[in-house]
Structure 1
């Protein structure tokens, strides 16, 4: 009777993107490369420790690339890989959906 099976790839994708802050970090990187402090300042309630962990996870998944520039002081920038950029339309659709369907407390449409 129950013939529904979850696609393992879909399940893994949802697992990656549903971790706290991941989608927002990807969203912040869509316009282009940013330094750690810039990402941190865009997401005011995110601690540096969690940001560091999430960036490492995203780099491991091939979604984010870390670029180290041999300058003094060393400059490190994070950007989306092609795999990460492929998430832009999905996050754009979530933005469109939220504009239409999500109300914030105390706001009027």
Structure 2
């Protein structure tokens, strides 16, 4: 969806800006945490929570930007994505909370 939106506004979705490069470097640790055999379930869920928080924070900026540029259809698509991402965040927060309060909670 984002790739198509970038193309619609005349951008190159394959271009890697310095900002995009920095974002990629910042996020490199999350997959490493998730694939490390020493990572516990709780630690893995915390890493996923970090990713969800960042993801959720980006959508409102994209919505505002596309609205200001007059791309209402794209802004509405981004709103739908934000709604879905908000649901993911609620689920992951719930899992982290349940596991923190009762480590056996996710097994039941």
What TM-score, normalized to structure 2?
Answer: 0.28
Q: Higher strand fraction: Structure 1 or Structure 2? A: 1
Q: Higher helix fraction: Structure 1 or Structure 2? A: 2
What TM-score, normalized to structure 1?
Answer: 0.28
